[in-house]
Structure 1
Amino acid sequence: MTAATATGARTERPKRPSKARYVALEIAALVLVVVCLIGVDAKWARLLEAPGEIWNYLGLMARGVFQNPFADPYAEYWTTSFEFMFESLAMAWVGTVIGALLSVPFGFLAASNVAPAPVVFVVRQFLNAIRAIPDVILAIVIMVPIFGLGPLPGALAIGVGSIGTLGKLTSEVIEGIATGPVEALRSSGARPLQVLRWSVLPQVLPEIVAFWLYRFEVNIRASAILGVVGAGGIGSLLSRVFDGRDWDRVGIALVVIIGVTMIVDQISASLRHRIITGGERIESTPRTLADFS
């Protein structure tokens, strides 16, 4: 083989990789979308009517919102909505506390770097089973038949549902810890519980608390849904006034739900940021050498 031939072989452009697999995946995804659209058996033609219908119902609900809130009967509408919304907040808070307290031990037992493999497998399947059951089903099938109607079954359903999600998130955070502090404590003769208390828990606690706050936001929305099935909260008020087509009260209740939820979301987001970052702010202005002198 001559030098020219070798040089020509080296400079030959490589063959372009085949895109057949990616094209096949895209076609499969498109087919799956089409099958799902056919499977839902929706009346897609009604989508054209949706904008007009939405505008019509928004007008009906806004009629009560823009009335004088201190005049009868609208003052009673606003007061009742806030009372039921406070009940939803209480349900969400109690459910979050239940889920937070019980999810921590389950999270440790589901972490592969902390618990034995058989225990991890069993606990993970238990958490998967909990997450597979929606909060509404927990309330209808288990909590309401046992405890009756009211906010208690709703709070318990939220609490049980929170265990599955928070337990999974906790285990994932534990599995991502730095191993240095753990090895240092073990080499000094610390017992397993001492290692968990003084090495693992301090590393994961800020993120776990942030998960608790986020779950509280989710539970507020869940509490509004649970009320529709008789589990208390503002959902029960919405169900009652919607059955009577009392659009004034429906609009007021929705405004209260949206307003209170947005306020709680902002407070929770601020607390989560402070917990995770320690309240430090990243300066956007560039620094010069004089700043470090």
Structure 2
Amino acid sequence: MTAATRPTTTMKRPTPPSKWPHTIGLLVSLAVVILAVWLVDANWIRLADLPASIGNYVVLMGEGLTHNPLEVPWSEYWVLATQRMLESIQMAWIGTLIGAVLSLPLGFLAARTVSPAGVVFVTRQFLNAVRALPEIILAIVLIMPIFGLGPLTGALALGIGSIGTLGKLTAEAIESIDPGPVEAALAAGARPVQRMRWAILPQALPEIVAFWLYRFEINIRASAVLGVIGAGGIGSLLSQLFNRREWEQIGITLVVIILVTIAVDSISGAVRARIISGGGRKLAARERRDEASAIV
């Protein structure tokens, strides 16, 4: 074996990349953060008083929770907070239904795999415009002058605001389906409406319904904000209580909001997981039992 063909026994280690660009980037980011903190002109000294202030408000609001909820007037406070919270849930539910019904056809129009490019562009820009408007602006500018104050205004604002988000998510769910059933329906001579009904919608609907439930959770929180401007629900009650500085009743109302929100989120999350996963776990467990019984 010649020296030219003899394998080398030592290899030179590659030169590690320089760490200077990474270090300079971190230093620049730190300088920007420090400059932003300096320019915000906040009264940072008052941060020292923040724990005492929070503790004071917690004590004031907690006094309402120390009384017997079955005695008057505390029972009335609990009932009123629960009623207003249920009103917010109703607003969120109606708003979600409005958004779901109107966003479903818009989602098909915005899907690149279903609609022409021109229709997709126009529909997506419309959904972007709706999604860019906060629900509180929709309520004040568009809905309140027509329907006035009340839960209906809040429900309609939530419904219109839901169209933009749900339409975009619906389009993405339709674009991500398996094209096989669609091609099979096309080969069988199915018309466009038939392909949407029997090949596209069954695949995308579980994910779309999960999006609807998630939007319902968001609308519950948004309904509290709309209530501040007089759109009904728990937000209207909180606005009145804060104006009157009735801290004991505020504490009761906040506890009702927290408990109901946790319950709704837990139920909605379980339903979403069940819709997305389907009966796969039960079917797999049943197959394992059948295999075990066959072996025995």
Q: Shared fold (TM-score greater than 0.5)? A: yes
The corresponding residue for 2:103 is: 103
Q: Which amino acid aligns with 2:211?
A: F
Residues 19 and 166 from structure 1, CA distance in 2 versus in 1: closer, same or farther, beyond 3 angstroms?
farther
| 2:4 matches 1:3 | yes
The corresponding residue for 2:143 is: 143
Residues 203 and 30 from structure 1, CA distance in 2 versus in 1: closer, same or farther, beyond 3 angstroms?
farther
The corresponding residue for 1:156 is: 156
Question: Unpaired segments of 5 or more residues in structure 1?
Answer: none
The corresponding residue for 1:120 is: 120
Return the offset for 1:45: 2.8
CA distance in 2, matches of 1:30, 1:177: 44
Q: Deviations over 1:171-215 (max 9, x none)?
A: 111111111111111111111111111111000000111111111
1:208-287 alignment to 2 at 5 Å? 208-281=208-281
Secondary structure at the residue paired with 2:63?
helix
Secondary structure at the residue paired with 2:93?
helix
TM-score in terms of structure 2 length: 0.89
CA distance in 1, matches of 2:116, 2:14: 49
The corresponding residue for 2:61 is: 61
Residues 207 and 236 from structure 1, CA distance in 2 versus in 1: closer, same or farther, beyond 3 angstroms?
same
Cα RMSD of the aligned pairs, angstroms, is: 2.5
The corresponding residue for 1:130 is: 130
CA distance in 2, matches of 1:99, 1:168: 12
The corresponding residue for 1:206 is: 206
CA distance in 2, matches of 1:116, 1:209: 25
Q: Deviations over 1:3-32 (max 9, x none)?
A: 279847x93333333455544554554455
Secondary structure at the residue paired with 1:11?
coil
Return the offset for 1:47: 2.5
Asked whether the equivalents of residues 273 and 279 of structure 1 are also in contact (C-alpha less than 8 Å), the reply is no
Asked whether the equivalents of residues 274 and 280 of structure 1 are also in contact (C-alpha less than 8 Å), the reply is no
Residues 265 and 183 from structure 1, CA distance in 2 versus in 1: closer, same or farther, beyond 3 angstroms?
same
CA distance in 2, matches of 1:200, 1:254: 43
TM-score in terms of structure 1 length: 0.90
Q: Which amino acid aligns with 1:61?
A: M
Q: Deviations over 1:115-156 (max 9, x none)?
A: 111111111111111111111121122222221111111101
Deviant stretches of 4+, over 3 Å: 4-8, 17-42, 279-284, 290-293
Q: Identify the range of structure 1 (54-63 vs 10-19) with the bigger mean alpha-carbon deviation.
A: 10-19
CA distance in 2, matches of 1:118, 1:27: 46
Residues 60 and 272 from structure 1, CA distance in 2 versus in 1: closer, same or farther, beyond 3 angstroms?
same
Question: Unpaired segments of 5 or more residues in structure 2?
Answer: none
CA distance in 1, matches of 2:33, 2:75: 48
Residues 129 and 25 from structure 1, CA distance in 2 versus in 1: closer, same or farther, beyond 3 angstroms?
farther
CA distance in 1, matches of 2:101, 2:198: 19
Return the offset for 1:35: 5.2
| 2:105 matches 1:94 | no
Q: Which amino acid aligns with 1:3?
A: A
| 2:47 matches 1:72 | no
1:39-50 alignment to 2 at 5 Å? 40-50=40-50
Q: Deviations over 1:81-136 (max 9, x none)?
A: 11111111110010000001011111111111111111111111111111111111
CA distance in 1, matches of 2:63, 2:197: 57
CA distance in 2, matches of 1:39, 1:101: 47
Secondary structure at the residue paired with 2:195?
helix
The corresponding residue for 2:182 is: 182
Percent pairwise identity: 58
Asked whether the equivalents of residues 130 and 164 of structure 1 are also in contact (C-alpha less than 8 Å), the reply is yes
Asked whether the equivalents of residues 92 and 223 of structure 1 are also in contact (C-alpha less than 8 Å), the reply is yes
Return the offset for 1:37: 3.6
Secondary structure at the residue paired with 1:3?
coil
CA distance in 1, matches of 2:21, 2:200: 44
CA distance in 2, matches of 1:119, 1:235: 39
CA distance in 1, matches of 2:210, 2:60: 39
Q: Deviations over 1:201-239 (max 9, x none)?
A: 000000111111111111111111110011110100000
